Structure 1
Amino acid sequence: MIASVGIVGAGRIGCALARLALAAGSDVVVAGSGDAARTAATLALEAPGAQAGTVAEAARCDVVILAIPLGRYSELDSAVFDGALVVDAMNYWWELDGARPDLDDATTSTSETVQAHLAGARVVKALNHMSLYELDNLAFPSGHPERRGAAIAGDRSDDVATVSALIDRLGFDPVPAGALADGVRFEPGTEIFGADEDAEEIADMLARFWDSQRGRVVARARASAQ
């Protein structure tokens, strides 16, 4: 049982995840970018029952989800996340984040970059490729014929299992994608991103990544770096 879920980010995705976690029976703490009063007002409208808190309070939950623009990852105080199980649901958008060589490096995944910054945390990549529509409208109980799949990547099997259990409780079928380095297979610009497909098709898309243009670029870059 995942008793508590922390969410860093009180935007549309953060609030959607808060609603799902509340519906799954977890206590939810959301840390927004503004003061707690403003976040509380947002949650009263968008995710009633969720508690506004600090980033440190969110990080003390059983699982903490990062739902802010990826370009802001370096603003996070790494010490706050020491020992935390962190779900990286962030994405890099050059239109918003600007040109960022640290986030556009084909030799690594963006979640590995996040893990390097949050050195004392255990980072798992998940939930980033799912659309707001999917989170709001396509969460179903296990076994439902319309249930969608959610890719998950991580380096520690026990943490992947914990986050997979959370994804299942949120209403989606977890689809193992490999180690954190394999998170590159469901970053923005990949076939899977925003696809809103079932688990079988998500798995097929992950398998097809290395035959895609982006997959070939990544493969060449990683081979050259070795």
Structure 2
Amino acid sequence: MAMSAGVGMPHYLLAPEVSQLLPYLRDLTQRLFGETLWNTGSRLNECLALTPAHFNLDNGSRPFVVIKTLKQRTRGRGRPEAGEQLNRIVPLFDEAYVQRLREYFQTFRPKKNEPLWNVKSDETPRNWIRAAVRNAESDGVTFSLKTITPKTFRHSFAMHLIQSHVPMKVVQAYMGHAEASSTEVYTRVFALDVGYQREVRFTVPVSTVGLQRIG
């Protein structure tokens, strides 16, 4: 269970929770959007800017996506910060996701240089996720977070990489962070969560242990 409830801490879902939520996105287009957030760690405006041309699915066993790094300051496309990389390459590790991308492109044949999700406002995909959460909860599915947004998927992507022992510099590159400090916050969350999950206790009943001074 994710425990990152501190002020200023990124809130995330564990991989099994994401797997439970994704099927509740209403159709193939919405589900592919959710899966893309989860598999790429893209910001909402970065994901909405993706076209088929950004995906390289024919690179042998190493498919990837090229994401134009956009720092969201206001609603819309936003601008990158000074010093922030303009493009980043994110490997697509999940074979099932890559296969669904191929099938989606073959079935719907989206134009190569047009956005995959032609929405009028970034509020539309937010509503997709809200509806998916409501439908999941109506079926009795519970999540460790009260509020789930597109940004939750980005945080979840970062935490999943860290839990999989991906080096911090690599996580920083995949996330498109200009500063290492932006990535390091996830290690603090990880350290906090691990401590709680280990159930460390400092109060031990005296009757259950022998008192012994060492040294």
TM category, shorter: under 0.3
**Bigger relative contact order (CA 8 A; separation at least 6):** 2
Scaled by the length of structure 2, the TM-score of the pair is 0.27
Which protein has the bigger strand share?
Answer: 1
Scaled by the length of structure 1, the TM-score of the pair is 0.26
* Structure showing greater Rg: 2
